């Protein structure tokens, strides 16, 4: 059923909140553009031609390409070993390999700084700058590439590779010619997510002192040097993000990977590792040990030095994190429900546009999104600036996409005929949704709320720029203590 004029009166309770949500995501970004264009022509020319811009662009692209390359070297063999070999416990290993997603980048940077250098847990020189940022971001984002690659390996039909072998190709050439092209969609989707995280990262690069666009935006804004230049840096970052999305979309359109015929749908015969099995287990467990084992060891070691008199500050930060993340997650679920309902039950261009706007808030780098809301609230909503409701609202807009996915999936599983039966009994579309559909969506809503809550607890740049004065959370305490090299004080918060 598509969205048409006769449906509008009954759907206004869904359309109005969905339109307000879409506007809440898009309007601050439009205002950011207007704020950047406030510069005089001469000043604008100086901003655009600053040599610093090229340096920031080079640093950002170097980090992006380095992380994509290193995550490929990590994720590809890990996905192969946990799907196409005879290793025991492959499901457990795959679960362990996904766990680094739980660690925020700024915590990884904190652990690297605290564990190395003078007085560190490990007798190693302190690793900062490009090398440190590359290591931390690669270890914490490789699961975004590993998980889609593993799913793609499990869904491959081995007949294509076997056909290539019968034509005389070696195992390696058969894999490169027949199998690798089938993995390209998974690679591209993983690259997109990894790339978005690298472009949007602020905590890692700022703590490790590697100047990318995100770090430069924060320096310009926090030091009040040049707010217009900060707006332009945010726009440069948005352009990079848009370029990444465009390249991924163009490459996907050029792929033609559909298999003709029915195919066998069977799994490939597992590769026997023999004496190489112990080395394979070591290779699989090494990223987990580096990304989780070392941080946990360092955190517990440093937490033992935590001053007991600071316990009240820890409890206060924990409470503040919960008071921000809980309402923001509930608000994100409330925003996602009408958008998901329109997208699933009434698919149309307006519904798709609203859905894309919901994902826009998540795709935009957090620091650029926060800066857009700072400028917008100062001009249009001054009564909200520096208050907790603004932080809750922006967190909900940013993590709306994480709530939307599970709710949309749950709504697809609710038969339309249940709502139609309620409509035949005289219910309006809103009444049928509230009485019949909504009670069946609780699992999807709970999952979406949990994802938004976890994301909001870990969120750093939005909280730094938008939280009320003196409102410290777990994330901001880790960041501030690490900036001052107070590693023992930061450990319990991390």
- pLDDT at site 72: 92
Tell me how crowded residue 475 is: count the other CB atoms within 10 A of its CB: 28
Of residues 307 and 55, more confidence is placed in 55
> What average pLDDT does the segment 327-346 reach?
87
Of residues 313 and 97, more confidence is placed in 97
Highest mean pLDDT among 144-148, 351-355, 427-431: 144-148
pLDDT at 180 over 60: yes
- pLDDT at site 10: 59
pLDDT at 168 over 70: no
Count Cα neighbours of 393 within 13 Å in the Cβ-side half-sphere: 19
Q: Where in the chain is the domain with CATH 1.10.3720.10?
A: 1-38+307-494, 50-257+271-304
Question: Measured in whole angstroms, how far is the alpha carbon of residue 175 from the centre of its chain?
Answer: 31
Give the chain's largest Cα–Cα span. Answer: 74
- pLDDT at site 395: 92
Q: Which helix (H) or strand (E) holds 104?
A: none
- pLDDT at site 134: 94
DSSP string, 62-101: HHHHHHHHHHHHHHHHHHHHTTSB--S-HHHHHHHHHGGG
> What average pLDDT does the segment 318-334 reach?
90
- pLDDT at site 422: 65
> What average pLDDT does the segment 280-292 reach?
87
Helix (H, G, I), strand (E, B), or coil: what is residue 31?
Answer: helix
pLDDT at 306 over 70: no
Of residues 258 and 479, more confidence is placed in 479
- pLDDT at site 264: 45
pLDDT, tens digit, 9 for 90 and up, residues 209-264: 899 988 888 887 776 656 777 778 888 888 888 888 777 777 766 665 544 344 44
- pLDDT at site 251: 75
Using pLDDT thresholds of 50, 70 and 90, give the confidence band for residue 392: very high
Helix (H, G, I), strand (E, B), or coil: what is residue 286?
Answer: helix
Q: What angle do CA 491, 493, 494 make, to 5 degrees?
A: 65
Question: Measured in whole angstroms, how far is the alpha carbon of residue 218 from the centre of its chain?
Answer: 20
Distance, CA of 110 to CA of 128 (rounded, Å)? 11
- pLDDT at site 59: 92
* Mean per-residue pLDDT over the chain, rounded: 79
pLDDT, tens digit, 9 for 90 and up, residues 420-468: 676 677 667 767 777 777 777 778 888 888 888 988 888 888 888 888 8
- pLDDT at site 261: 42
Using pLDDT thresholds of 50, 70 and 90, give the confidence band for residue 356: confident
Lowest-pLDDT range of 77-91, 370-384, 406-420: 406-420
Q: What angle do CA 116, 119, 121 make, to 5 degrees?
A: 50
Question: Measured in whole angstroms, how far is the alpha carbon of residue 59 from the centre of its chain?
Answer: 21
- pLDDT at site 58: 92
DSSP state of 437: I
Using pLDDT thresholds of 50, 70 and 90, give the confidence band for residue 135: very high
pLDDT at 88 over 60: yes
- pLDDT at site 151: 80
pLDDT, tens digit, 9 for 90 and up, residues 13-51: 778 888 888 888 887 788 778 777 777 777 777 777 788
CB 475 within 8 A of CB 460: yes
Distance, CA of 378 to CA of 384 (rounded, Å)? 8
Helix (H, G, I), strand (E, B), or coil: what is residue 85?
Answer: strand
Write the CATH number of the domain with boundaries 50-257+271-304: 1.10.3720.10
Lowest-pLDDT range of 170-179, 212-221, 302-311: 170-179
Highest mean pLDDT among 129-143, 153-167, 217-231, 368-382: 129-143
**What are the φ/ψ torsions at residue 119 (nearest 5 degrees)?**
75, 5
- pLDDT at site 62: 94
pLDDT, tens digit, 9 for 90 and up, residues 266-283: 566 776 777 877 888 888
- pLDDT at site 407: 82
The percent of residues above 90 in pLDDT, for the chain, comes to 10
- Topology of domain 1-38+307-494, per CATH? MetI-like fold (1.10.3720)
Q: 127: which residues sit within 8 A by CB, 6+ positions away? A: 112, 116, 135
- pLDDT at site 258: 47
Closest Cα to residue 183, out of 252, 264, 261, 265? 252
- pLDDT at site 69: 95
Closest Cα to residue 443, out of 404, 406, 412? 406
pLDDT at 377 over 90: no
- pLDDT at site 382: 84
Distance, CA of 152 to CA of 59 (rounded, Å)? 32
């Amino acid at each position: 059923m598509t969205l048409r004029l006769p449906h509008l009166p009954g759907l206004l309770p869904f359309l109005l909140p969905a339109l307000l949500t879409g506007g809440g995501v898009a309007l601050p970004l439009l205002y950011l553009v207007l704020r950047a264009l406030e510069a005089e022509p001469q000043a604008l020319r100086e901003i655009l031609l600053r040599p610093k811009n090229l340096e920031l662009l080079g640093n950002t692209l170097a980090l992006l390409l380095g992380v994509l390359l290193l995550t490929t070297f990590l994720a590809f063999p890990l996905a192969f070993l946990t799907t196409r070999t005879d290793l025991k416990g492959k499901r457990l290993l795959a679960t362990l390999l996904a766990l680094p997603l739980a660690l925020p980048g700024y915590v990884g940077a904190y652990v690297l700084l605290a564990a190395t250098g003078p007085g560190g847990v490990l007798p190693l020189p302190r690793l900062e700058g490009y090398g440190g940022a590359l290591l931390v971001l690669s270890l914490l984002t490789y699961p975004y590439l590993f998980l889609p690659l593993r799913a793609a390996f499990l869904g491959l039909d081995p007949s294509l590779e076997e056909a290539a072998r019968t034509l005389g190709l070696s195992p390696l050439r058969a894999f490169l010619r027949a199998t690798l092209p089938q993995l390209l969609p998974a690679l591209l989707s993983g690259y997109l997510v990894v790339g978005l995280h690298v472009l949007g990262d602020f905590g890692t690069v700022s703590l490790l002192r590697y100047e990318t666009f995100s770090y430069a935006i924060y320096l310009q804004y926090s030091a009040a040097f040049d707010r217009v230049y900060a707006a332009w840096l945010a726009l440069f970052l948005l352009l990079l993000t848009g370029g990444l999305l465009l390249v991924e979309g163009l490459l996907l359109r050029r792929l033609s990977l559909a298999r003709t015929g029915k195919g066998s749908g069977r799994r490939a015969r597992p590769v026997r590792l023999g004496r190489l099995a112990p080395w394979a287990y070591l290779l699989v467990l090494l990223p987990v040990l580096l990304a989780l084992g070392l941080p946990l060891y360092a955190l517990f070691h440093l937490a033992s030095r935590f001053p007991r008199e600071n316990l009240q500050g820890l409890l206060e930060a924990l409470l503040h994190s919960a008071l921000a993340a809980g309402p923001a997650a509930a608000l994100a679920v409330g925003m996602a429900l009408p958008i998901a309902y329109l997208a699933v039950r009434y698919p149309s261009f307006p519904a798709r546009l609203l859905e894309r706007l919901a994902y826009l808030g998540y795709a935009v780098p957090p620091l650029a999104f926060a800066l857009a809301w700072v400028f917008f609230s100062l001009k249009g909503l001054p009564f909200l600036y520096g208050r907790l409701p603004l932080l809750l609202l922006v967190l909900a807009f940013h993590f709306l996409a994480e709530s939307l996915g599970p709710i949309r999936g749950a709504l697809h599983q609710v038969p339309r005929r249940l709502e139609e039966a309620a409509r035949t009994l005289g219910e309006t579309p809103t009444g049928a949704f509230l009485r019949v559909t909504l009670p069946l969506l609780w699992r999807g809503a709970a999952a979406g709320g949990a994802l938004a809550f976890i994301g909001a607890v870990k969120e750093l740049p939005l909280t730094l720029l938008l939280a009320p004065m003196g409102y410290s959370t777990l994330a901001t305490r880790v960041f501030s203590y690490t900036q001052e090299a107070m590693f023992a004080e930061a450990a319990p918060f991390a």
